[in-house]
Chains A and B, each alone.
Chain A
Amino acid sequence: MTKRGFASWGRYPHSEQSGLPLHWRSDIASQLKGSGQLAWGNGRSYGDVCQASSGRVMPMRALNRLIDADWETGVLRSEAGATLEEILAVAIPKGWFLPVLPGTQQVTLGGAVANDVHGKNHHRRGTFGSHVVSLELYRTDRGLLNCSRINSAELFNATIGGLGLTGIIGSVEVQLQPLQSSNIDSRCFRFQSLAEFLSLCEQYDTKSEYSVAWLDCTAKDARGVFSCGNHADDGAAEVAVKGRLKVPFAPPLSPINRPSVALINRFLYRWQGRKPRLRQGYRDFLCPLDGIAHWNRAYGRAGFQQYQCVIPRPEAEAALEEILARVRQARQGSFMSVLKVCGKARSPGLLSFPLPGISLALDFPQRPALNPLFRDLDAIVSSSGGRLYPAKDAHMSAEHFQQGYPRWAELESLRDPALLSRFWQRVTDAAGCVR
């Protein structure tokens, strides 16, 4: 057994994690013993939501076999360790696509369900969990369960966005979406203020399957580039080829700092808006960072934190202005700053992140100066009724979490006694819950 590969994507907080890879679903029962364990997918969540409280994870990546596929109806069942990239490689040539693809294809099916991920089409399709037909769940107290909206519906709902705590997800059945072409016809527009961004959303979100905006948060105003797109009507359905770029190692000091970010942002602002209309492959449009393997290493050994919040619509503009002003004032640059309008679709999950409103994600190199900044940002988010994304989080307080996710106690009551993450320990501790 090797020790590599059990650092979360942000490489912060550090925690020693180890585990024996699972190779067969029939072995889940014998390996799930004791307490404080957690399934480990592909290590794409940023903070400690993927870290087991005991330090013993169950690596699931080898469980990546397809179980059933109906190419007439587009219903696919696969073991939970398969990545979305692996699913697309099989589905696209058959004329099907995932209804929801987050910013990376490198997450596992199980991880996509446990974090109820969303993509650039949230305003139309909602979260990943809304398209799950059924789940195979293994629990220490109830054994193997087949959960769906009809069978064990309570556990089915709780497992969607359940942060992997309701049992080990063995397989996932998902409804795919028909595809004409794997290319996306995209348009992009530069904007100079949040108001301008919002009017672009209003104008184009109804006409577009996908929409997202990149923000230059080092600039004086909230300038950025809004892009939207639809699958092309013609052209081939082709699987994206793997990128060749990669960050080979994490340098001792991060090359990502205030001056370099300002420079990169200025370039990105010019470069992204250079062509108002563009036909792109789905990966280049939906998962641009997948083109650079291990891009998280660019933040150096200290790692980074992503601050992703969602603010309900009425308060959104004012709260976001305040957040961006505070970030500029702290002189903490972020070059992957992403704005996205979330739709009204409700997920079956108890702890799904999106709310009808606007989501903002900011990446910061890890340093002590982030603590006061995050404290201030948290105050703005919580007073405007917003919340943070557990999959990205490494700092949120128990109080803030419980305020943002009032149904957390329901999930706690459905948690498998053998499973516990460091995140869950952190955000439920203040309530003095018994374990």
Chain B
Amino acid sequence: MKRILIIGATSAIASACARRWAQPGTRFYLVARSRDKLATIARDLEIRGASVSQDCLDLDRLDTHRGLLDRCLATLGPPDLTLVAHGTLPQPEESRDQAAVAAACFHTNATSTISLLTEIGGRLAQAGGGRIAVLSSVAGERGRPSNYPYGASKAAVTAFCEGQRAWLFRRGVAILVVKPGFVDTPMTAGMEIPAALSTTPERVAADIDRALGREHDTLYTPWFWSPIMRVIRLLPTFLFKRMDL
């Protein structure tokens, strides 16, 4: 892996991935909202031998996406690997009761990701190849009462990627959809998570690395979410609506 574009580079999972990929010869193009945090991440990767370009951007503004890709391609050339990792997880009560919060969550997680992936997919198809990893979530498999606005936004990303993957397949571009379970990150701070079900960003990053190497289409991380979600998908609705998941 030589040229790597990371969207949402200061997220815990993205920075764990970046650290795995950082070595002399790796060129990063990092995009994030907070200038200070981005600089902290970039400096760490540089000391590890990588060269890093930083682009400070609010990805909620869809009109910035085209310019972002222009700058990235001018600096880096077409990336070999793109990781789309930005996102937000609102408080369940807030997103349930406040329309603005629910819509903003969908805008950040789904609309802006779809807009970015459309730009990225087009450029990579033009360049003739590349690989994209997108962070979705197990929450996107079914709308659960505990956080369905978030789940809906991730479901949109998963469905979009499924279609775009098929479209890009013949153009040499591969998409990996990553579906993590509970991960110890700032995003989940304050949530009560059973210890046995939660994992670390480093472990998720290792799984992403392996799935990219094996050219998988979908990754459940940790692995046990795959059988769990299979069961949850099979639950009939008359039962599901009575459950408190």
Which A residues fall within an 8 A CB radius of B?
A: 1-5, 20-21, 23-26, 62, 65-69, 90
**A-B CB proximity, top 8 nearest:** A4-B195, A65-B44, A66-B47, A2-B198, A2-B195, A69-B47, A66-B44, A23-B186
Question: Most chain-B Cβ atoms within 10 A of its Cβ — which of A5, A66, A69, A90?
Answer: A66
B192 to A1, Cβ gap below 8 A? yes
Asked, given contacts A20-B190, A21-B184, A21-B189, whether A65 binds B43 with beta carbons under 8 Å apart, the answer is: yes
List of B residues within 8 angstroms of A4 by Cβ: 195, 198
Partner of A2, one of B37, B41, B44, B193: B193
Task: Kindly name the residue among A2, A4, A5, A24 whose own CB sees the greatest number of chain B CB atoms within 10 A.
Answer: A2
Q: Is the CB of A65 within 8 A of B193?
A: no
Q: B188 to nearest A CB, angstroms?
A: 7
Whether B189 lies near A67 (C-beta < 8 A) is no
**In the bound complex, do residue B48 and residue A23 qualify as a contact, i.e. CB atoms below 8 Å apart?**
no
Chain A residues with Cβ below 8 Å from B191 are: 1
**Cα–Cα, bound, A3→B189 (Å):** 12
| Best-surrounded residue of B40, B191, B193 (most CB of chain A within 10 A) | B40
B12: Cβ under 8 A from any A Cβ: yes
Nearest chain A CB to B166 CB, angstrom units = 37
Given known contacts A20-B190, A21-B189, A90-B47, is B12 in contact with A65 (CB within 8 Å)?
A: no
Tell whether, in the assembled complex, residue A65 and residue B40 are in contact, meaning their CB atoms are under 8 Å apart. Answer: yes
Cα separation A68 to B40 with both chains bound (whole Å) = 10
Closest Cβ of chain A: how far from B203's Cβ, in Å?
A: 13
Cα-based distance from A68 to B48 in the complex (angstroms): 10
Task: Please name 13 further chain A to chain B contacts, defined as beta carbons within 8 Å, in addition to the given A1-B188, A20-B190, A23-B185, sorted by A numbering.
Answer: A1-B190, A2-B182, A2-B194, A2-B195, A5-B195, A21-B184, A21-B186, A26-B36, A62-B12, A65-B41, A68-B43, A90-B47, A90-B48
A66 to B184, CA, bound (A): 21
Interface size grouping (class) on chain B: 20 to 34
B34 smallest CB distance to A (angstroms): 9
Question: With a CB–CB cut-off of 8 A, which chain B residues contact A23?
Answer: 12, 185-186
- Chain B, range 182-221, C-beta contacts under 8 Å to A: 182, 184-186, 188-195, 198
Residues of B within 8 Å of A90, CB to CB, are 47-48
Contact present for B43 and A66 (CB under 8 Å): yes
Selected A-B contacts with CB under 8 Å, 17 pairs: A2-B182, A2-B184, A2-B198, A4-B195, A4-B198, A20-B190, A21-B184, A23-B186, A24-B37, A25-B40, A26-B36, A65-B43, A66-B44, A66-B47, A67-B43, A67-B44, A90-B47
Q: How far is the CA of A279 from the CA of B41 in the complex (A)?
A: 38
CA distance A2 to B191 in the complex (A): 8
CA distance A198 to B104 in the complex (A): 71
The residue of chain B having its C-beta at the shortest distance from the C-beta of A82 within the complex is B44
Q: How far is the CB of B59 from chain A (nearest CB, A)?
A: 19
Interface string of B8-34 (1 = CB under 8 A from A): 000010000000000000000000000
Assembly CA distance A408 to B67 (angstroms) = 60
Q: Which of B45-71 contact A (CB under 8 A)?
A: 47-48
Instruction: Tell me which residues across on chain A come within 8 A of B193, comparing CB atoms.
Output: 1-2
Residues of chain B contacted by A62 (CB below 8 angstroms) = 12
| CA A25 to CA B12, docked complex, whole Å | 14
Inter-chain contacts of A21 with B (CB < 8 A): 184, 186, 189
CA distance in complex: A66, B188 (Å): 25
Q: From A93, which residue of chain B is reached at the shortest CB distance?
A: B49
Complex formed: what's the CA distance from A65 to B44 in Å? 5
CA of A26 to CA of B188, assembled, Å: 19
Q: Which of B37, B184, B185, B189 has the most CB of A within 10 A?
A: B184
CB-contacts of B81-125 with A (<8 A): none
